[in-house]
Structure formats: C-alpha cells, structure tokens
C-alpha cells in the first residue's frame, strides 16, 4: 500500500539514538514510490571508470553520515522539513555492468519525478549524475546553472567517450539543457590538461569565478555575482565536493589544494536562498578513499544546505500553482 505523506519529518534524534534504525538521508522517511513527496532526495550510485574511483559508494556513506544532521539550520531559521514534504526515495536505477545504460535509465527516472512534480536533490556518484538529472527534468527551455567545482567539466570527450563526469557542461549546452548565458562556475583552480581548458566557457559566454577571483570578491561578492548571472528564472545548483580544499575532502576522485573551506561553502550556499531552484545535487564523495567518513560528513552537510535553499523555492512554486486554481 502506498505511503501518503502530508508532513515528512526526520526521526527525532532526541528520542531515537542516531546509531539505531535503517540509514536514510537525514533520517527521513523512505518513500520509494514518491507518493506525497515534494522534494525527493535521490542517490545516484554510479561512476564512470576513472583514476580514483569509488564515487558509486557515495550515497550509501552519505546516508550513514547524515544521521548527524539535525532538523534546523544553525541560524535558527525555518527547517526545510517544515516547508514541504521531503523524503528519501531511494536510488536511481541502472545496469552497473553497462555504464552507458545510466544515460537512458537514470534520465528516465528523473523525468518521471519531474512529471509528478517531485523536485530532486541528488547525491552522486560522480559528476556525470548532474547531466543525468538535467536530461530528465529540463523540458521547454534551457535553465540557469550554478556550478561549484575545481574543474570546468567542459571537455569534448574523455578517452573517446562523450558522456562522463568531465563533459557535463559540454553536453548540457549542446542538448539545450543548460543556458550558457545564465551559467556560473565557482572555485575553478588546480592544474590543467591544456591552456585551453576553459575556452568552452569563454566561447559560450559563461561566467567563471576561479579561486583567485573568489578571494578578491569575497563571499558577499560571489553571492551577488551568482544572483546577477542566474536572475529570477529557473536554475539548478550542483556542488562537486572537490570544490572544497583537499584538506576537507580526502575522499574524492580529483582533489585539489587551495580551495573553498566548508565555511565558504555554507555562507555562499545560504546566500542563494530566493533563487528559483528546480533541482540540486552534491557529487563525488568516494568512501574507499576516506573510510573515516570526513568527506561524506561534509557532503551530508552540503546536502542539507541545498535542501535549505531548495525548499523555499518549492514552497513558492506550490503557492503560485494553488493561486491559479
């Protein structure tokens, strides 16, 4: 029998010990059929073969570490769980022995969520997960795109393959999913494959704030620039966890020193409340590279920050829809 949710809330950790029960994202109800859900937190346990793999195990460890997340933000503001119905709806399906099947099957899964009015907040997997979500939820026109990352992800191919974690923006723009004029990448840094790694961004009018400029602008300046670029139309927010300094994320496939602190990330993400966010994700946690779970704990906290800025957007859209009835 389908479970109907009118007010999905996490388990109260003052009443039920964090180490007990089955792990779900933030101890939320597990509602695999999505009935009554406004925001579905979805695992995408998939990674393309790479030098430092293991991101396919990310959703599992993030679920476990997210037991430590409490119900309210540190500011004492409104809980996302009080603004709309949020649940863990499980993992997107695909055949792990056929990586390219993820492109079709996972995209179809997110397309189904979109058709039912469920806004996704996804947990990868590698950064290809973002493309799979976008392919499922973008319908009539390209949307704005906010990317936190240490790498541009604008390669044409990787090892001759067009679909992978390094071609996210290239495919997204080509296929009309991402509006390049409303796209901003924050935190790019580190060594490059070539001097032309960011040519795609420049050619398509994307805004890039590398970490040198991040330091010059400061957090408030970066927030203002993101809001200027994206505007008030629908947008998507993706956080590749390697945007953080490698000291905070030992368990990721392509760590880069000299990046954002967790405090930087929290402040900037909180500054995006009010954007019309239609989906979000956090990707690239690799538990085999960090068995202690520091990376996954930071990833769980980033997911919570994404929920805190997505929930108000969902509530506004619901209210607007009800006004038109």
Look at 56-65, 195-204, 217-226 and tell me which has the smallest mean pLDDT: 195-204
Between 258 and 320, the more confident residue is 258
Residue 2 has pLDDT above 60, yes or no: no
Report pLDDT for 104: 86
Model confidence at 11, pLDDT cuts 50, 70, 90, reads confident
Between 46 and 293, the more confident residue is 293
Report pLDDT for 4: 47
- Local structure of 159: helix, strand or coil: coil
Mean pLDDT of 146-162: 76
Mean pLDDT of 297-303: 97
115, 92, 133: which is closest to 239 by C-alpha? 133
Report pLDDT for 313: 97
Q: How high does pLDDT run on average in the chain?
A: 90
Report the alpha-carbon distance of residue 41 to residue 86 in Å, rounded.
7
- What is the gyration radius of the CA atoms in the chain, in angstroms? 18
Look at 90-94, 298-302, 307-311 and tell me which has the smallest mean pLDDT: 90-94
Report pLDDT for 235: 98
Report the alpha-carbon distance of residue 266 to residue 306 in Å, rounded.
9
Report pLDDT for 115: 95
Residue 160 makes CB contacts below 8 A (sequence gap 6+) with none
Mean pLDDT of 262-283: 97
Report pLDDT for 297: 97
Torsion sign, CA atoms 265, 144, 153, 162: positive
- pTM of structure: 0.92
Task: Give the other-Cβ count within 10 Å of 259's Cβ.
Answer: 25
Residue 1 has pLDDT above 50, yes or no: no
Residue 5 has pLDDT above 60, yes or no: no
What angle, 0 to 180 degrees and rounded to 10, lies between the N-to-C axes of helices 101-115 and 128-137? 40
Residue 21 has pLDDT above 90, yes or no: no
Report pLDDT for 193: 73
Report pLDDT for 156: 61
């Amino acid at each position: 029998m389908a479970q109907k949710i009118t007010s999905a809330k996490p388990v109260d950790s003052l009443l039920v010990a964090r180490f007990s029960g089955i792990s779900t994202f933030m101890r939320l109800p597990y509602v695999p059929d999505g009935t009554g859900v406004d925001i579905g937190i979805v695992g995408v346990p998939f990674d393309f073969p790479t030098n430092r793999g293991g991101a396919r195990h990310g959703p599992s460890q993030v679920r476990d570490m997210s037991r430590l997340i409490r119900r309210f933000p540190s500011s004492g503001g409104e809980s996302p769980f009080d603004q709309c119905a949020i649940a863990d709806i499980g993992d997107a399906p695909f055949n792990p022995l056929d990586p390219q099947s993820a492109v079709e099957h996972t995209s179809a899964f997110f397309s189904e969520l979109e058709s039912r009015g469920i806004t996704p907040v996804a947990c990868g997997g590698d950064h290809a997960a973002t493309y799979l979500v976008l392919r499922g939820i973008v319908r009539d026109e390209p949307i704005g795109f906010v990317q936190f990352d240490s790498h541009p992800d604008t390669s044409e191919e990787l090892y001759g393959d067009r679909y992978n974690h390094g071609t996210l923006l290239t495919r997204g723009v080509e296929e009309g999913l991402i509006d390049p004029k409303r796209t901003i990448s924050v935190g790019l840094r580190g060594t490059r494959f070539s001097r032309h790694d960011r040519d795609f961004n420049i050619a398509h009018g994307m805004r890039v704030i590398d970490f040198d400029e991040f330091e010059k602008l400061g957090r408030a300046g970066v927030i203002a620039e993101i809001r200027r670029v994206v505007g008030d139309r629908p947008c998507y927010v993706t956080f590749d966890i390697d945007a953080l300094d490698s000291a905070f994320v030992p368990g990721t496939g392509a760590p880069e020193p000299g990046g954002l602190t967790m405090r930087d990330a929290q402040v900037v993400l909180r500054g995006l409340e009010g954007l019309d966010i239609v989906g979000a994700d956090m990707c690239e946690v690799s538990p085999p590279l960090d068995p202690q779970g520091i990376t996954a704990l930071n990833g769980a906290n980033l997911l919570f920050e994404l929920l805190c800025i997505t929930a108000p957007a969902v509530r506004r859209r619901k209210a607007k829809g009800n006004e038109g009835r």
